[in-house]
Amino acid sequence: MTVNLAAINDEPGFEREALVTLGWLLTTLNYRFTTVTPSTHSLINGRTDNRISRTIQDVFGWSRDFEPSVLPRQVFEAMCRAGACRPIAGSLLWRPRVRFSTLAGLMFAHSAYPTVDQDAVFFGPDSYRFVRAIQAHASLAERIVDVGCGSGVGGIALAKAGLSARPVVLADINPDALRMAAANAELASVRAETLHSDVLAGVRGEFDLVIANPPFLRDDAQRTYRDGGGAYGERPALRIIRESIDRLRSMPKGGRLLLYTGAAIVDGEDTFLAAARGELARRGVRHSYEEVDPDIFSDELQRPAYATVERIAAVLLHVRIAGTDQRLHD
């Protein structure tokens, strides 16, 4: 295959329209891929026969180096236009910069493995747990805001299920995340508004459901999508609780918060719940809480920051906030 180097997008970000084209082309080829944990990904790619791509799943799922001849011409050209690959100097091989994962029949673009960049757009097993958890509790909302949306998986999944009367708001501080979320919304044929926003600061107008899957780990590299800060990564989640309650209670009908996060368990105590209870009590709101998965990211327990942690649990906090009209009649 002759490569048109002039077609390569050399911009640092990704080109949204070309990402959409690439996603549609993969759909027509019946592409499917379930993204695994980084440790599993490393193990599978480390096998001798898995170093170089032989299939389209190898390129767009396993993020393996590839020769352009492995891909249909249209796919490779769209990949180049999107900025989704780079040539490897001194070689005939190219390296993917984007992965595509499938969830409930939907296609999601996100960052290639390994996700080492500060602004990497994460998607993995936690994304599947997040969607299942919020779908179990969500009902029809007038306007949904997906805080720290990343690839947009949560908001897009709820919108695709017909649970948002108005375009879903996909909010993030990462420009690459917003480009990918916009492309993913178009691929899913859902109405969406992408918005650069630090939590809810940039969101205008009324909304009645906030969903979030914030970073919840302590990360030595302090990667935006991964590092939570605080004692055990709980800082972003606590901020989302505060800002969501304060904003929703100022609206006539109030609303709800569905927050999926990770909780460090120390000596049998859920440290996130202990911290969240204080915020919830001070604001006098009703809530429910459940463990979605009792043991996730076990590799993290080997690091010094988790020396006292016995497990990390995936949890869902569901907060119901009364609005001004409801409090007026209480």
Mean pLDDT of 6-13: 51
Residue where a domain stops, chosen among 111, 143, 177: 111
Contact predicate 85/112, CB 8 Å: no
Instruction: Indicate whether 101 and 134 sit together in one domain.
Output: no
Q: Which two tokens stand for residue 192?
A: 């969406």
Instruction: Indicate whether 24 and 48 sit together in one domain.
Output: yes
Contact predicate 62/71, CB 8 Å: no
Instruction: Indicate whether 65 and 174 sit together in one domain.
Output: no
pLDDT per position as a tens digit, 260-314: 999 999 999 999 999 999 999 999 999 999 999 999 999 989 988 899 999 999 9
pLDDT per position as a tens digit, 184-212: 999 999 999 999 999 999 999 999 999 99
Out of 74-78, 229-233, 272-276, 278-282, least confident range: 229-233
Instruction: Indicate whether 43 and 182 sit together in one domain.
Output: no
Whether residue 178 has pLDDT greater than 70: yes
Rounded to the nearest integer, the mean pLDDT of the chain is 91
Quick check: is 269 in a domain?
Answer: yes
Quick check: is 120 in a domain?
Answer: no
pTM, full prediction: 0.92
Which helix (DSSP H) or strand (DSSP E) does residue 166 occupy?
A: none
Quick check: is 118 in a domain?
Answer: no
Judge residue 330's burial from the number of C-beta atoms within 10 Å of its C-beta, 0-12 exposed, 13-18 middle, 19 or more buried.
exposed
Structural domain boundaries enclosing 319 = 125-328
Residue where a domain stops, chosen among 111, 139, 166: 111
Whether residue 246 has pLDDT greater than 90: yes
Instruction: Indicate whether 272 and 133 sit together in one domain.
Output: yes
Q: How many domains does the chain have?
A: 2
